[in-house]
């Protein structure tokens, strides 16, 4: 995992060595901007023979290695933090635990299917981010209630509510209405 902002730090020898010993080496050059990424998607896929699991902090174009196309995904906290914040706020969580971080990651992972993984994607498409946020929020609420960390929702209330519908109703919906009525 690269967070150094030292462009090119992940050398060919390193990635090839990882690929020798690991079936699916995880290569995450997370530094921004692209010029500061520890390696490019093309380098990671090429040097690992297409075996790597790749996500980056910067966007990269799809890569073709040995006739197979890989679509790198951008690792971004936008997939987890909004849902965590929403869930914690709605239930009044006293604090965020390590387990909540894990549960949020599992909720996110459930949105990545086998086809995505085969294409080299590690994160779901951005067009499902609201669904991901809702799933993460629901998971956080359930965990906070279960561990008695929730101050706004009791176990009994949780058992008697449609949590998905409640969270969806409470989500901000960025629909903008015209400021001036249209004249007929």
Whether the pLDDT of residue 182 is over 80: the answer is: no
- State the pLDDT at residue 179: 80
Q: Higher pLDDT residue, 182 or 141?
A: 141
- Determine the pLDDT at residue 178: 78
Question: What is the band of 78 on the pLDDT scale with cuts at 50, 70, 90?
Answer: confident
Tokens of 58: 């910067």
Q: Residue 156 corresponds to which tokens in the numbers above?
A: 């009994």
pLDDT at position 174: 85
pLDDT greater than 80 at residue 93? yes
Mean pLDDT of the chain, nearest integer: 93
Comparing C-alpha atoms, which of 130, 132, 146, 157 is closest to residue 97? 146
- Is the peptide bond preceding residue 33 cis, with omega within 30 degrees of 0? yes
Q: Give CA separation, 48 vs 10, 25, 31, 41, 42, in Å.
A: 12, 8, 20, 11, 10
Peptide bond into 127 cis (omega under 30): no
- What is residue 120's predicted lDDT score, i.e. its pLDDT? 79
Confidence (pLDDT) at 176: 83
Residue 168 has a pLDDT of 97
What are the start and end residues of each CATH 3.40.50.10380 domain in the chain? 77-170
Residue 118 tokens, joined:
């085969």
Phi, psi dihedral angles at 123 (to 5 degrees): -120, 155
Tracing tokens 């901007």 back to the chain, one arrives at 33
3-state secondary structure of 27: strand
pLDDT in tens, 21-64: 999 999 999 998 999 999 999 999 999 999 999 999 988 999 99
Q: What is the CATH number of domain 77-170?
A: 3.40.50.10380
């Amino acid at each position: 995992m690269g967070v150094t902002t030292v462009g090119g730090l992940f050398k060919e020898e390193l990635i090839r060595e990882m690929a020798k010993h690991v079936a699916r080496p995880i290569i995450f050059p997370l530094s921004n901007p692209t010029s500061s990424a520890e390696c490019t998607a093309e380098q990671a896929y090429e040097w690992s023979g297409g075996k790597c699991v790749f996500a980056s902090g910067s966007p990269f174009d799809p890569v073709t290695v040995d006739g197979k196309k890989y679509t790198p995904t951008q690792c971004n906290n936008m997939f987890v933090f909004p849902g965590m914040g929403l869930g914690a706020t709605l239930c009044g969580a006293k604090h965020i635990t390590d387990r909540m971080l894990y549960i949020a990651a599992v909720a996110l992972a459930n949105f990545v299917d086998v086809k995505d993984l085969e294409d080299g994607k590690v994160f779901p498409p951005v067009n499902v981010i609201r669904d991901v946020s809702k799933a993460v929020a629901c998971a956080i609420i359930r965990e906070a209630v279960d561990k008695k960390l929730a101050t706004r929702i009791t176990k009994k209330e949780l058992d008697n509510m449609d949590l998905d519908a409640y969270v969806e109703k409470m989500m901000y919906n960025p629909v903008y209405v015209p400021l001036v009525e249209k004249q007929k």
